[in-house]
Structure 1
Amino acid sequence: MKYTGSCHCGSVTFEFEEQEIKSGLRCNCSVCQKKGALMSAFTVSPEAMNINAAEGALATYSFGSGTAKHHFCSRCGIYPFHQTLRKPGHYRVNLGCLEGVDTTKLPFDVFDGASL
């Protein structure tokens, strides 16, 4: 399936192809716990992720080792995706940013990022 997503204001958009999304993932690390977003349980390769952002709209926050890159819109503040610590360069997406995905109906697992 082809998925499209965006931040709230539309300054950051993205698309990728993946099988039907049937579940999500939450992480308990210090950043993800505060974000509270339901992320994809799968990762998207950099080649498969098509990102479009208005000039200056895509900002990045990283901490600790700096390997994980938490991307957000500098205009509306929404987190649409991040590059992972365990698979550098690959993305997990904020399922709440995807068109046609109702995150309130998805089961999810919890990843223990706080212990890394």
Structure 2
Amino acid sequence: MTHQGSCHCGRIRFEVDGHIDSALSCNCSICQRKGSLLWFVPRAALRLLMPESDTAVYTFNKHVIQHRFCPTCGIHPYGEGKGPNGAAMAAINLRCLEDIDLDAVPITRFDGRAL
């Protein structure tokens, strides 16, 4: 299934393929503040509908995750990094997808503060 997503103002627009079977809620210093619900997919499943240069990037700590956000409205629709096996991954903020019933998505809590 293909899902459509965007930031609030629409500057960052994307499509992502996959079946949403769960979300991750992390309590690390950035995720807690953003309030995102993350769905992890292979990076190849994410297609940007605008130039990547339209996004701003924030990294911290070990600088291995690129937290992408809109420089206009400030919304964080996705991040990029590598999975445990070294494959390129995208962390999609489910709150930025259209027509998603978040109440129907099982949420796993992750203790990112403990890392």
> Please, what TM-score do these two structures have when normalized by structure 2?
0.86
Whether 2:33 is the aligned partner of 1:51: answer: no
Shift of 1:52: 2.7
Helix, strand or coil at the partner of 2:25? strand
Residue by residue over 1:36-79, the C-alpha shift from the partner in whole angstroms, topping out at 9 and shown as x without a partner, is: 11111xx2222221013358530010001100111100011111
User: Structure 1 residues 54 and 83 mapped into 2: Cα distance closer, same or farther (>3 Å)?
Assistant: closer
Cα distance change, pair 70–55 in 1 and its aligned pair in 2 (3 A): closer
Please, which runs of 5 or more residues in structure 2 have no aligned partner? Answer: none
Counterpart position of 1:111: 110
Structure 1 residue 23 displacement after superposition: 2.8
Offset of 1:104 from its aligned partner?
Answer: 3.9
Contact 2:77 2:93 in 1 (8 A): yes
Say what the alpha-carbon RMSD is for the aligned residues. Answer: 1.9
CA spacing shift, 1:63–1:5, aligned 2, 3 Å: same
How many angstroms apart in 2 are the aligned matches of 1:92 and 1:32? 11
Amino acid at match of 2:77: P
**Could you state the TM-score of these two structures normalised by the residue count of structure 1?**
0.85
Count of matched residue positions in the alignment of Structure 1 and Structure 2? 113
2:79 equivalent in structure 1: 82
